[in-house]
């Protein structure tokens, strides 16, 4: 791969947002050329061959916010938004003194607001350490469609759809542990009902009016992930529309690291949508050429 950084090393930090892991690079000086970013993401996100991750996030300069990001999925495609990615980007920008505790940054889904949360108590009385907790305000969701009939492998399933920054399909299931997440998620992701963009796919069980278990098949990763921030948002909002939950809602993903969704609603419309949870700075170092060649 010929790039302006072919023989250089690239500083990076690895962060995990409730189990979604991302490679973060301060690209304000343009060390990663724009035309090569997708190819770089596909290389460095490869598990066991490089750093490994669900995505690559480049932090760049902005004229109307604290910074701008570019987010690339593990397959190299550029994504509009990621809830857990946004929380990781905010934490990275704060740690690197790119942005203050309360910040705004540009994404393809619009300008996002985020803040480092000072150990706010959860509904159970537990707190998230100040160093890890990040709260992000989402763009208002759109594209709601309820009770879609989705035929997969000869079985017609009841599904719901909403765009929470990126498209999400939600299935309510009896037991997430027994669901074929990839077996059902992959054909749903490519189903004609959700074209041309495709969709992420969530399988949820409503435990009580403030708690949901969730598993997610992510578009772009093309597999199940340990957590999905936009999936948590979509699932909480859909669950509220079918009369099962009310804000705030705690979602328990496969990682076991809880996410909390806050929202206001009027009829089928949602405003003041927030996602809060853990964003861990795991390690930092330098990518060497072998990481992308």
DSSP character at residue 121: B
pLDDT at 137: 94
> What stretch(es) of the chain map to CATH 3.10.310.10?
10-138+280-291, 142-277
pLDDT of residue 126: 45
Identify the band that residue 2 occupies on the pLDDT scale cut at 50, 70 and 90.
very low
* SS3 sequence of 72-113: EECCCCEECCCHHHHHHHHHHHHHCCCCCCEEEEEECCEEEE
Confidence of residue 125 (pLDDT cuts 50, 70, 90): very low
Say how far apart CA 251 and CA 166 lie, in whole Å: 18
Residue 130 pLDDT exceeds 70: no
Query: pLDDT value at position 132?
Result: 81
Give CA–CA dist 169/53, Å, rounded.
23
CA–CA separation, 182 and 201 (whole Å): 9
Query: What is the pLDDT averaged over residues 131-150?
Result: 91
**What size, in residues, is the chain?**
293
Q: What secondary structure does DSSP assign to 33-84, as a single string?
A: -GGGHHHHHHHHT-TTTSS--SEEEEEE--SSSSEEEEEEETTS-EES--HH
pTM: 0.88
Task: Encode pLDDT of 61-111 as tens digits.
Answer: 999 999 999 999 999 999 989 999 999 999 999 999 999 999 999 999 899
Give the class (CATH, top level) of 10-138+280-291: alpha beta
What architecture does CATH give domain 142-277? Roll (3.10)
Lowest mean pLDDT among 38-47, 113-122, 221-230: 113-122
Q: What is the mean pLDDT of the chain?
A: 91
């Amino acid at each position: 791969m010929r790039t302006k950084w072919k023989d250089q090393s690239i500083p990076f930090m690895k962060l995990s947002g409730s189990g979604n892991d991302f490679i973060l690079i301060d690209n304000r000086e343009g060390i990663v050329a724009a035309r090569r970013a997708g190819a770089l993401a596909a290389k460095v996100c490869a598990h066991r061959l490089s750093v490994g991750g669900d995505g690559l996030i480049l932090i760049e300069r902005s004229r109307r916010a604290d910074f701008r990001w570019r987010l690339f999925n593990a397959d190299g495609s550029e994504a509009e938004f990621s809830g857990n990615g946004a929380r990781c980007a905010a934490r990275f920008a704060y740690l690197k003194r790119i942005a203050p505790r309360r910040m705004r940054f540009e994404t393809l889904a619009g300008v996002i607001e985020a803040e480092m949360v000072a150990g706010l108590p959860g509904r159970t009385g537990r707190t998230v350490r100040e160093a890890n907790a990040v709260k992000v305000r989402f763009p208002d969701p759109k594209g709601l469609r309820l009770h879609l009939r989705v035929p997969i492998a000869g079985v017609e399933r009841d599904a719901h759809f909403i765009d929470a920054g990126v498209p999400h399909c939600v299935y309510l299931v009896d037991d997430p542990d027994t669901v074929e997440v990839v077996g059902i998620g992959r054909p749903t992701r490519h189903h004609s009902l959700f074209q041309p963009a495709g969709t992420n796919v969530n399988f949820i069980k409503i435990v009580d009016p403030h708690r949901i278990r969730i598993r997610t098949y992510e578009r772009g990763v093309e597999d199940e992930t340990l957590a999905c921030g936009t999936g948590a948002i979509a699932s909480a909002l859909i669950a509220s529309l079918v009369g099962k939950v009310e804000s705030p809602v705690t979602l328990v993903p496969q990682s076991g690291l809880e996410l909390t969704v806050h929202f206001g609603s009027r009829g089928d419309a949602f405003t003041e949508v927030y996602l809060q949870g853990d964003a861990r700075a795991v390690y930092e170092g330098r990518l060497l050429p072998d990481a992308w060649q």
